[in-house]
């Protein structure tokens, strides 16, 4: 079925009152608006589906509040809608609530009964989740910072579990095209999360990154998780866009420069696999949950060649990494 046929099928099912179709169409109209009215229509469909008891619709309303994609970011309201979603029996929302509340159940799984939703919501310490750890200055030129214990382990596991089934060979971006392609420069796997993949754990990670980088949420590119088996690597490269290259300049005109990169180490049971900076002859790694944040531009905002960096190959074990590129923005929300 073509994308257009699929959209028509969704519209027909939604107008006949199918709540799952209303939710799917509502999410799509908001994530990829086709007209000035799309977002309003999408919100209305989500509200109707939610009022009719659809938990997935309530989860996406939570995502809207937590991301600030429409209106102001509001974590308390986001959590209230997540709780509603869980109480309507939407299991991904219940699992997220349990993780956010740091409330493991006795059988070792996160979230087991919709009737727990309100109690879990009440246990969530919003200020605590938004509090960021002390920074360590690893280098001034380029500016590289480290944050130990940036993410609790349960968040790391959530991201690894989300990424694992979707991993595919990572791609590189050459001088002529912004479209990626496979290359020996990057032999690891990765997954990119778009607006429809967002959940409250991922948005909390982005929110925490926006706080340490001191930038608004709309500067976040799609988050990625990277995976390296023994021998796989991301060879030395720059994350900034080079304005002297036509394709990069066109991309910069739309979304701005890639100002900074944040890398969160999701595991630690491997050897090798540091993030290396050959121009300054240094390499760094973090313990599980630790973050590296580095600027890709100098203090004048110009591309900084000293930021050349690489993901070295693991010599034992596998490495999981959360990667967030930050633009001067704004990016589509
Ligand atoms: O795997 C690493 O340590 C480096 C990742 C990286 O270079 C990037 O995300 O730009």
pLDDT of residue 167: 97
Boundary residue ending a domain (127, 145, 179): 127
Ligand 1 within 6 A of CB of 311: yes
Cα–Cα distance between 102 and 120 in angstroms, integer? Answer: 9
**Opening angle at CA 31, ends 30 and 34, nearest 5:** 70
pLDDT of residue 20: 96
Cα–Cα distance between 195 and 64 in angstroms, integer? Answer: 10
Q: Are residues 274 and 177 located together in one domain of the fold?
A: yes
> Could you give the dihedral angle defined by the CA atoms of residues 158, 159, 163 and 165, in that order, rounded to the nearest 10 degrees?
-10
Measured in Å, residue 28 CA sits from the centre of ligand 1 at 31
Counting atoms of ligand 1 from 1, which one is nearest the CA of 239?
10
Q: Are residues 86 and 116 located together in one domain of the fold?
A: yes
Reported as a pLDDT band with limits 50, 70 and 90, residue 34 is confident
Residue 285's domain comprises 136-327
pLDDT tens-digit series, residues 270-294: 999 999 999 999 999 999 999 999 9
Ligand 1 within 6 A of CB of 187: no
Name the residue of 163, 311, 314 to mutate for ligand 1: max ligand atoms within 8 A of Cβ: 311
Measured in Å, residue 261 CA sits from the centre of ligand 1 at 9
pLDDT at 173 over 80: no
Counting atoms of ligand 1 from 1, which one is nearest the CA of 274?
3
Reported as a pLDDT band with limits 50, 70 and 90, residue 150 is very high
Strands across the sheet with 136-139, in order? 136-139, 144-147, 291-295, 258-265, 319-327, 224-228, 189-192, 168-169
Domain annotation covers residue 61: yes
Counting atoms of ligand 1 from 1, which one is nearest the CA of 273?
3
pLDDT tens-digit series, residues 198-225: 999 999 999 999 999 999 999 999 999 9
What proportion of the chain, given as a percentage, has pLDDT over 70? 95
pLDDT at 105 over 80: no
For ligand 1, atom 1: residue with the closest CA: 311
Q: What is the mean pLDDT of residues 256-272?
A: 97
Q: Are residues 224 and 302 located together in one domain of the fold?
A: yes
Measured in Å, residue 132 CA sits from the centre of ligand 1 at 22
pLDDT of residue 67: 95
pLDDT of residue 229: 98
Q: Are residues 109 and 186 located together in one domain of the fold?
A: no
Domain annotation covers residue 108: yes
pLDDT at 174 over 70: no
* Residue listed under structure tokens 């089934």: 165
Counting the structural domains of the chain, the total is 2
Q: What is the DSSP string of 152-167?
A: -HHHHHHHHHHHGGG-
pLDDT at 247 over 70: yes
Counting atoms of ligand 1 from 1, which one is nearest the CA of 237?
7
pLDDT at 242 over 60: yes
Whether residue 264 contacts residue 150, with contact meaning beta carbons closer than 8 Å, is answered with yes
Q: Which residue has the higher pLDDT, 223 or 185?
A: 223
Reported as a pLDDT band with limits 50, 70 and 90, residue 106 is low
Of 135, 168, 129, 186, which Cα lies nearest the Cα of 152? Answer: 129
Name the residue of 180, 222, 226 to mutate for ligand 1: max ligand atoms within 8 A of Cβ: 226
Domain annotation covers residue 162: yes
pLDDT tens-digit series, residues 36-82: 899 999 999 999 999 999 999 999 999 999 999 988 999 999 999 99
Boundary residue ending a domain (92, 127, 162): 127
Boundary residue ending a domain (68, 94, 127): 127
pLDDT at 243 over 80: yes
Whether residue 202 contacts residue 266, with contact meaning beta carbons closer than 8 Å, is answered with no
Reported as a pLDDT band with limits 50, 70 and 90, residue 109 is low
Measured in Å, residue 260 CA sits from the centre of ligand 1 at 12
Q: Are residues 74 and 172 located together in one domain of the fold?
A: no
Of 153, 163, 170, which Cα lies nearest the Cα of 266? Answer: 153
Counting atoms of ligand 1 from 1, which one is nearest the CA of 321?
1
Query: Domain containing 47 — which CATH number?
Result: 1.25.40.10
pLDDT of residue 333: 58
Q: Are residues 105 and 143 located together in one domain of the fold?
A: no
pLDDT at 178 over 60: no
Measured in Å, residue 292 CA sits from the centre of ligand 1 at 10
For ligand 1, atom 2: residue with the closest CA: 311
Name the residue of 209, 234, 292 to mutate for ligand 1: max ligand atoms within 8 A of Cβ: 234
End-to-end CA distance of the chain: 28
């Amino acid at each position: 079925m073509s994308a257009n046929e699929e959209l028509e099928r969704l519209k027909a099912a939604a107008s006949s009152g199918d709540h799952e179709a209303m939710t799917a169409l509502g999410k799509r109209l908001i994530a990829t608006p086709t007209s000035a009215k799309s977002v309003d229509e999408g919100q209305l469909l989500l509200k109707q589906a939610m009022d009719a008891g659809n938990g997935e619709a309530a989860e996406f309303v939570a995502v809207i509040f937590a991301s600030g994609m429409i209106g102001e970011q509001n974590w308390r309201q986001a959590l209230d809608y997540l709780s509603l979603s869980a109480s309507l029996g939407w299991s991904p929302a219940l699992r997220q609530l349990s993780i956010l509340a740091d409330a493991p159940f006795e059988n070792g799984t996160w979230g087991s009964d919709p009737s727990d939703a309100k109690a879990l919501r009440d246990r969530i310490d919003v200020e605590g989740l938004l509090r960021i750890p002390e920074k360590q200055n690893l280098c001034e030129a380029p500016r590289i910072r480290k944050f130990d214990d940036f993410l609790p382990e349960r968040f790391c596991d959530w991201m690894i579990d989300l990424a694992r089934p979707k991993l595919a060979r990572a791609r590189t971006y050459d001088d002529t095209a912004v479209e990626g392609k496979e290359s020996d420069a990057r032999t690891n796997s990765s997954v990119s999360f778009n607006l429809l993949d967002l959940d409250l754990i991922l948005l909390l990670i982005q929110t925490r990154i926006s706080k340490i980088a001191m930038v608004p949420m709309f500067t976040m590119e799609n988050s990625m998780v990277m995976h390296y088996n023994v021998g796989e690597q991301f060879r030395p490269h720059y994350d900034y866009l080079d304005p002297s290259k036509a394709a990069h300049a066109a991309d910069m005109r739309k979304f701005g420069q890639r100002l900074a990169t944040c890398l969160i180490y999701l595991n630690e049971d491997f050897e090798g696999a540091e993030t290396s900076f050959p121009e300054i002859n240094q390499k760094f790694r973090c313990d599980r949950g630790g973050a590296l944040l580095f600027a890709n531009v100098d203090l004048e905002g110009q591309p900084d060649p000293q930021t050349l960096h690489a993901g070295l190959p693991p010599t034992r074990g596998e490495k999981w990494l959360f990667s967030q590129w930050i633009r001067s923005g704004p990016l589509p929300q």
